[in-house]
Amino acid sequence: MAKITENMTIMDVLNMDREAAAVFMKYGLHCLGCPGATMESIGDAGKVHGIDVSKLVEDLNKHFENK
């Protein structure tokens, strides 16, 4: 399984596993279908929304490790 990085887009991750949406939702990223999800990196989205990007990426990687 590929390692999730902050340079990936939200849609990159959701295309790997739709269940990862729960991790994004936990961090307040609810507009997963918005155009930003396909163009913005996880890092950029995190900065815009005031999210700890390193923690988000860590939790996403844990999600995939547990699959």
Over residues 35-46, the pLDDT tens digits come to 878 888 999 999
> Residue 12 has which token pair?
């990159």
* Mean pLDDT computed over every residue of the chain: 92
Per-residue pLDDT tens for 42-65?
Answer: 999 999 999 999 999 999 999 999
- How distant is the alpha carbon of residue 33 from its chain centre? 12
- The region of weakest confidence among 10-19, 28-37, 55-64 is 28-37
